[in-house]
Amino acid sequence: MSRRIIQCPGCGREIELYHNPAPTVDIVIRYQDGIVLIKRKQYPFGWALPGGFVDYGEDTVSAAVREAKEETSLDCEIIGLLGVYSNPQRDPRSHTISTVYVARGRGELRAADDAAEARCFSLERIPSGLAFDHGTILADYRVWHAGETG
């Protein structure tokens, strides 16, 4: 456990500060005949699922819907939980834990916010070099989707 002790500037008591992983969300958006990926404007670069950090006071479903709207301009309806991804190396910037949802997207797909580009890809034509652990997430989605349709 990573922690450190500091002194409270107000009362002088010792306070424990913990260094915890940051909660994030990612969202597999079904749109038209494929899924939506964004090309990231910021490091780490590459194609990625829409997603981001959960704001303080926000639940993960709301965060996923918000991030999807901010990055793709789509309105999303959550249809399932794909999984939780917690490998400490999944994000090269810091340790994150991502809750990943599957959703249906509606509206006009347009890149916004942290996305330089937003496009729909068939599962057979996913670009190589995905950011983060999104290759693993999409492999899990293929299994989830096959179980749903099979």
- State the catalytic residues: 117
Residues 6+ apart with CB under 8 A from 109: 31, 36, 72, 73, 74, 118, 119, 120
Which residues make beta-bridge pairs with 118?
38
From CA 87, how far away is CA 78, in angstroms rounded?
24
Q: Which residues contact 34 (CB under 8 A, 6 or more apart)?
A: 120, 121, 122, 123, 125
Q: Is the peptide bond before 88 cis (omega within 30 degrees of 0)?
A: no
Cα radius of gyration (the chain): 17
